[in-house]
Amino acid sequence: MKAAVFHKVGDISVDNVPDPVIEDADDIILKVTSTAICGSDLHIYDGFVPQLRDQVLGHEFMGIVEEAGPGVTKVKKGDRVVVPFTIACGQCFYCQQGFHANCMHTNPEHYGPRGDLLKEKGGGLFGYTDLYGGYNGGQAEYVRVPKANVGPKIIPDGLEDEQVLFLTDIFPTGWSAVKWGKVKPGDHVVIFGSGPVGLMAQKAAWINGAERVIAVDPLEYRLEKARRVNNVDTLNADDDDLIEKIYEMTEGRGADVAIDAVGMEAKRNILERAKAVINVEKGTMKVIELCTEAVRRSGIISVVGVYASPYDNFPIHRIFDKFLIKD
């Protein structure tokens, strides 16, 4: 089959690779009908999250069950399903509480409570390096889906792929950002980042009753998209008066909720890049700093951006990996 394969930093190609096969009784083989590229794939491509061997990328996909192992009871051959990006056993301490990304059993080589930079990570993820289980992803014609009695969800009749695919990752992530931020009717919400997750967080903020939603991004085409599809106010992140303008738009107090939908790959200047090299940091945490300025006193900061290293010896990478702070 053909698949998008990561080889090394900056090197991804579409290759012919072996078809996946059933390895465990609760596996399925999925014929992929739609897949997507996530901003998190860039973490691997750019070397922010290390991967030393070839791997099929992709954790946003859906398709038709081609084959099911003997232990699969929830889906069958021919079912059309959407697959969440996390791989969860459904039985461990964390899965029983709904924290599937922290599953104790799907990343046996690298799982652990510590949440360090290169060891003791969380549960398995599709196509997201050996640190998270080494599972091949869904940017391919076929993919093996483990724990198929837990993850895949059957798609109701009448829905096109384009209406469903975002349920793999970006809409649940945007929704989680808003729910973790406890957005309620009347809130003023500022969302840093107007990529796919930021756009979904904007939609979710309106759904949850926000009175005003402000999108911040350095790229004008993204801000135009946010205005057009979500009817939000927009500010350019490069504006020297950015924070003051946020205060003006939020009755002088600051936003009730500030959401970081960017993470470590925020735009940086030359000095910030040099600092990262000297301190052996991956990217920057400047968006979190902006959130602390933009939010009102006693407000809430919700972070769904990815952080993979400490910054100035502050262990934000561990806080991210262990889901320690949601608000």
pLDDT the model gives residue 323: 66
Do 251 and 116 lie in one domain? The reply is no
- Assess if residue 317 is contained within a domain: yes
Contact 107, 122 (CB under 8 A): yes
How far, in Å, are 46, 116, 197, 263, 306 from residue 131 at the CA level? 16, 11, 23, 19, 15
From 115, 143, 168, give the residue that closes a domain. 168
- Assess if residue 326 is contained within a domain: no
- Assess if residue 327 is contained within a domain: no
- Assess if residue 179 is contained within a domain: yes
Q: What is the C-alpha to C-alpha distance for residues 37 and 138, in angstroms, rounded to an integer?
A: 10
Percentage of the residues of the chain whose pLDDT score is greater than 70? 98
Contact 259, 178 (CB under 8 A): yes
Q: Which helix (H) or strand (E) element contains residue 44? A: helix 39-45
Do 30 and 164 lie in one domain? The reply is yes
Residue 136: give its domain's CATH number. Answer: 3.90.180.10
HEC readout, 203-236: HHHHHCCCCEEEEEECCHHHHHHHHHHHCCEEEE
Residue 236: give its domain's CATH number. Answer: 3.40.50.720
- Assess if residue 160 is contained within a domain: yes
**Number of folded domains that form the chain:** 2
Do 272 and 312 lie in one domain? The reply is yes
Strands 255-260 and 295-303: parallel
pLDDT the model gives residue 196: 95
Do 98 and 189 lie in one domain? The reply is no
Residues spanned by the domain of 302: 171-321
Inform me whether the pLDDT recorded for 324 exceeds 70: no
Contact 301, 256 (CB under 8 A): no
Q: What is the C-alpha to C-alpha distance for residues 7 and 38, in angstroms, rounded to an integer?
A: 18
Do 16 and 145 lie in one domain? The reply is yes
Question: Where does residue 120 rank: exposed (0-12), middle (13-18), buried (19+ CB within 10 A)?
Answer: middle
Q: What is the mean pLDDT of residues 308-312?
A: 80
Side by side, which strands form the sheet with 142-145?
142-145, 28-35, 61-68, 80-83, 153-154
- Assess if residue 225 is contained within a domain: yes
pLDDT confidence bin for 293, thresholds 50/70/90: very high
Q: Which two tokens stand for residue 255?
A: 């936003």
Do 136 and 180 lie in one domain? The reply is no
- Assess if residue 198 is contained within a domain: yes
pLDDT the model gives residue 17: 98
From 168, 197, 217, give the residue that closes a domain. 168
What residue has token string 């992709």? 58
Average pLDDT, whole number, for the chain?
93
More confident residue, 16 or 116: 16
Bin 158: left if φ > 0, else alpha if -120 < ψ < 50, else beta: left
Do 177 and 317 lie in one domain? The reply is yes
Inform me whether the pLDDT recorded for 326 exceeds 60: no
Q: What is the mean pLDDT of residues 254-258?
A: 97
pLDDT the model gives residue 276: 75
Do 208 and 229 lie in one domain? The reply is yes
pLDDT the model gives residue 118: 84
From 147, 168, 189, give the residue that closes a domain. 168
Q: What is the C-alpha to C-alpha distance for residues 235 and 245, in angstroms, rounded to an integer?
A: 8
pLDDT confidence bin for 325, thresholds 50/70/90: low
Inform me whether the pLDDT recorded for 209 exceeds 60: yes
2-35 tens-digit pLDDT: 999 999 999 999 999 999 999 999 999 999 999 9
pLDDT confidence bin for 320, thresholds 50/70/90: low
- Assess if residue 293 is contained within a domain: yes
User: Does residue 269 sit in helix, strand or coil?
Assistant: coil
pLDDT the model gives residue 282: 79
Contact 142, 19 (CB under 8 A): yes
Do 265 and 193 lie in one domain? The reply is yes
Do 139 and 188 lie in one domain? The reply is no
What sign does the CA torsion over 113, 115, 119, 123 have?
A: positive
Do 96 and 187 lie in one domain? The reply is no
Do 137 and 32 lie in one domain? The reply is yes
